[in-house]
Structure 1
Amino acid sequence: MANTVRKGHPLWRFDRQQLRTSQRPAIIGVDEAGRGALAGPVVAAVALISTDTYENAAFKRQSKAINDSKQLKAAQRDEQFALIADWMEQGWVRVFPGIGSVAEIEELNILGATRLAMGRALEALQMELQTFDDEHGELLNGAASMQRLPQVLVDGKPLKPFRWRHEAVVGGDGKSLAIAMASIFAKVTRDRMIVDLHQEDSRYGFDQHKGYGAPRHLAALREHGPSPHHRSLFLRKLELPKNNATQTELF
């Protein structure tokens, strides 16, 4: 994976600069996967990295491979997912997913479901922190001095409304180590969920395109109509068969 190791470790440097400027005890990176797909849930993840972990020489060395999940091949993401899992076992990082279902995407639209997934991931992290440190668990939702809060960095534009205090970083998965880690965890988690959907219904080739609008996927939709795993809001502009029995049953 030498091609993913960047000279000077800029993602690590970005986070360290954030910590120095804000004088916070940790950074929480937040990102999502699956926002633009035609099928399957949207999956978010949060990754908490403390100041002590950033100063850990072994972590600094090993984390040089971490990058925006979109810049990595599937095998590289799987390797880095395993590396993150190992860091979790060592107590260096805390990472949690959150899911917005297809039904919630239909009800809330994709932005609302993405906020919901991110909020669920943050809530899971807060519960973990309360298990080990009630004080910081309470601090996570902004109940005390801002200087004592972990700094929450979300990839993209500010989320409104959103109950969690955060700072938006456009292109953050290519700038921040914590956000990039969250992006990898969200992407691999979602990909594995979509492969499981393929085991249930292989007509659409979910294992190949992970629910995105690839030509094979569009052709299968025109042949079979949508499944319960498809997002009807995302299919409105597609020329799908009007008299397809499967489609009629679903809508």
Structure 2
Amino acid sequence: MSKRRQLRSYDLKQIQGVAGLIGVDEAGRGALAGPVVAAAVLVSPEFLESRWAVAKSGRVNDSKQLTPAEREGLWAEFEELMAQGQIHANFGTASVAEIETVNILGATKLAMRRALGGIYPPSAFELKTEPDLFASEEEKAAFQPTVSCRILIDGLPLRHFPYPHEGVVSGDGRSLCIAMASIIAKVTRDRLMDELDKTHPGYGFAQHKGYGTEEHREAILKRGRSAVHRDSFLRKLFAQPRDLEGQMTLFG
């Protein structure tokens, strides 16, 4: 079995006994600029056995292992699956101001809460542990409680997070629904950074998406911070010694 096909197999095991499985991942946590974006994808047992999942989910992988064209192509397919009601998906963002206020971990959890809030619990997956108050005796006897969705978050479990969940280390390379969430988060954030490149030209946001490449760091030192840079992430950069022309001095 190929590594990519193992993602679906993993989810088939995780979804046993629950009505749905939700994968959650983020993008932009380590960037020097721009928001952090999280996505959540809800899949059902029926979807994991669907024609698309069986035939096409092998192309899904951790977003970092895919090309931009591959990610965009899969995102278009996810949109079609959502329109057909085969999956539910949503994304949430946390702004630079929020990152500076509650730190990157707090902002990441905030973005994840916003992503989850858009899909969980949808009416088809609501937790129901007892029959309706006015159910007949026959209905009460036949009642079967439903269970809530299982939430899988990429990485270690989160403390002080309002949703019961399980952390899956390297989950975007192990779970199909987490990998799908990683693609949605990455594509969404990349598009946001492309827009920021238009409103804040000169930093190269469209190329490096706000991450700390050498070109990006040089642009910051030359032009200074922009309104979408994370000040707390730039302290080490501005603290580095520089020569008389303003270039960083490297000591080996």
TM-score (normalised: structure 1): 0.85
Q: Does the Cα contact within 8 Å between 1:225 and 1:240 map onto a contact in 2? A: no
Bigger Cα Rg:
2
Q: Does the Cα contact within 8 Å between 1:221 and 1:240 map onto a contact in 2? A: no
Instruction: State the AA in 1 paired with 2:14.
Output: Q
**Residue in structure 2 matched with residue 41 of structure 1 by the alignment:** 35
Q: How many residues align?
A: 227
Q: CA deviation at 1:7?
A: 6.4
Structure 1 residue 66 and structure 2 residue 60: aligned? Answer: yes
Aligned CA RMSD, in angstroms, stands at 2.1
Distance in 1 between residues matched to 2:84 and 2:36, nearest whole Å = 28
Structure 1 residue 218 and structure 2 residue 221: aligned? Answer: no
Q: Any stretches of 5+ residues in structure 2 without a counterpart?
A: 131-144, 241-252
**Residue in structure 2 matched with residue 77 of structure 1 by the alignment:** 71
Give matches, 1:146-185, under 5 Å: 148-185=147-184
Q: Does the Cα contact within 8 Å between 2:4 and 2:61 map onto a contact in 1? A: no
Distance in 2 between residues matched to 1:231 and 1:8, nearest whole Å = 35
Matched-pair identity in %: 47
Q: CA deviation at 1:147?
A: 6.4
Q: Does the Cα contact within 8 Å between 2:4 and 2:60 map onto a contact in 1? A: no
C-alpha spacing 1:144/1:81, structure 2 compared with 1 (3 Å): same
Structure number with the higher helix fraction is 1
- 2:119 pairs, out of 118, 125, 129, with 125
Indicate the larger mover: 77-86 or 52-61: 52-61
**Residue in structure 2 matched with residue 197 of structure 1 by the alignment:** 196
Give matches, 1:17-36, under 5 Å: 17-20=13-16, 23-36=17-30
Distance in 2 between residues matched to 1:223 and 1:26, nearest whole Å = 50
Distance in 1 between residues matched to 2:237 and 2:204, nearest whole Å = 18
**Residue in structure 2 matched with residue 101 of structure 1 by the alignment:** 95
TM-score (normalised: structure 2): 0.85
Moved over 4 A (4+): 143-147
Instruction: State the AA in 1 paired with 2:9.
Output: R
Instruction: State the AA in 2 paired with 1:107.
Output: T
C-alpha spacing 1:168/1:226, structure 2 compared with 1 (3 Å): same
Structure 1 residue 113 and structure 2 residue 113: aligned? Answer: no
- 2:9 pairs, out of 1, 7, 13, with 13
Distance in 1 between residues matched to 2:129 and 2:107, nearest whole Å = 28
